């Protein structure tokens, strides 16, 4: 029997994985063990600190439910989500960049027609969004499935309201024959990620804020093209350089044009201030390989 001590434990654990039938699982777990053991040695981890770490992860699990995914928040705030996104979404320069998915996407959002009000009663100043879906060579992409979701002016997504019906500020529509789309919603505002749980306590302990710059979420799918998960960020937001989840890319920053009360792009008369946003999404063709992400 080999003695287990601080010098031999890593190789002993790895030896127990030698018969793993799944080579990818074996590769991942080998690396996980090596890095975790190296981390513990590097910081000379104490038993008290490790128990606190276990309690932290336990608290993350306890607060997670079908409305709140604290593990995604943890991954996001550690930059791991954005790293994995970047590794798996390398595109030719000129394609719209991907960014983090976030924890507030909801399956089976209601379907809207172009021109409809996706805000559906969400709190906020009216915003009229338009744009196009194209391929890398500029060809229009008709009938693309466009999912959009956003927080309201109080900084909350519909699913964060206890007992409230969802599907405010979220929905699905399809691009028209020329690749264009347009809908009404509300003006995006900056907001804090949920910070009343273990991830929020971690941010406070690290001297970090929980704020995200104003943005709209988009997920776009079309046959023959890679799925695009991205945001469009509002220019001028004070959190663009310190996004709590590291999701900002300069190519995804756009101007929200402000307008006083008057005639809106859809021909209606609006008696309050409103904004307009126009953005073109460029999809990458399926199977297109590149060596590095767009800068």
DSSP string over 120-179: TT-SS-EEEEEEEEEETTS-B-TT-EEEEE---TTS--GGGSTT----SSEEEEE--TTS
Do 85 and 201 share a domain, yes or no?
yes
- Whether 115 contacts 128, CB under 8 Å: no
Rounded distance between C-alpha atoms, residue 107 and residue 127, angstroms: 24
pLDDT one-digit tens code per residue, 46-98: 999 999 999 999 999 999 987 789 999 999 999 999 999 999 999 999 999 99
In a domain, 54, yes or no: no
In a domain, 60, yes or no: no
In a domain, 210, yes or no: yes
Rounded distance between C-alpha atoms, residue 205 and residue 294, angstroms: 34
Taking Cα atoms as reference points, which of 88, 74, 26 lies closest to residue 210? 74
In a domain, 251, yes or no: yes
Q: What is the pLDDT of residue 28?
A: 97
Rounded distance between C-alpha atoms, residue 160 and residue 66, angstroms: 11
Domain tally for the chain? 2
Q: Residue 85 is part of a domain; what is its CATH number?
A: 2.60.130.10
Pairing of strands 253-254, 257-259: unpaired
- Whether 189 contacts 121, CB under 8 Å: no
Say how far residue 139 (Cα) sits from the centre of its chain: 27
Count CB neighbours of 25 within 10 A.
Answer: 11
In a domain, 256, yes or no: yes
Do 267 and 126 share a domain, yes or no?
yes
Q: What is the pLDDT of residue 292?
A: 42
**Structural domain range at position 27:** 9-45
Residue ranges of the chain with per-residue pLDDT less than 50: 291-295
pLDDT one-digit tens code per residue, 12-59: 999 999 899 999 999 999 999 999 999 999 999 999 999 999 999 999
Q: What is the pLDDT of residue 293?
A: 37
């Amino acid at each position: 029997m080999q003695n287990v001590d601080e010098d031999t434990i890593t190789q002993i654990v790895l030896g127990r994985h030698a018969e793993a039938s799944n080579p990818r699982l074996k590769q991942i777990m080998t690396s996980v063990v090596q890095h975790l053991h190296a981390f513990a040695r590097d910081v000379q981890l104490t038993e008290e600190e490790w128990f606190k770490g276990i309690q932290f992860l336990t608290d993350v699990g306890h607060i997670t439910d079908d409305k709140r995914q604290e593990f995604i928040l943890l991954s996001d705030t550690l930059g791991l989500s954005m790293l994995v996104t970047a590794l798996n979404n390398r595109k030719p320069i000129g394609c719209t960049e991907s960014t983090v998915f976030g924890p507030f996407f909801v399956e089976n959002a209601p379907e809207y027609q172009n021109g409809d009000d996706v805000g559906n009663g969400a709190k906020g100043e009216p915003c009229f969004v338009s744009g196009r879906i194209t391929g890398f060579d500029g060809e229009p992409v008709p009938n693309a499935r466009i999912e959009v979701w956003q927080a309201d002016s109080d900084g909350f997504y519909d699913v964060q309201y206890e007992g409230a019906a969802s599907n405010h500020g979220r929905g699905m529509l399809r691009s028209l024959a020329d690749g264009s789309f347009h809908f009404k919603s509300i003006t995006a505002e900056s907001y804090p990620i949920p910070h009343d749980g273990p991830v929020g306590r971690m941010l406070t302990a690290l001297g970090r804020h929980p704020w995200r710059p104003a943005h709209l979420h988009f997920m776009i799918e079309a046959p023959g093209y890679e799925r695009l998960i991205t945001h469009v960020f509002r220019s001028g937001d004070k959190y663009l350089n310190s996004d709590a989840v590291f999701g900002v890319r300069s190519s995804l920053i756009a101007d929200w044009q402000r307008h006083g009360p008057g005639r809106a792009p859809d021909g209606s008369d609006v008696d309050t201030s409103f904004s307009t946003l126009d953005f073109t999404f460029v999809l990458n063709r399926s199977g297109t390989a590149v060596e590095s992400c767009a800068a």
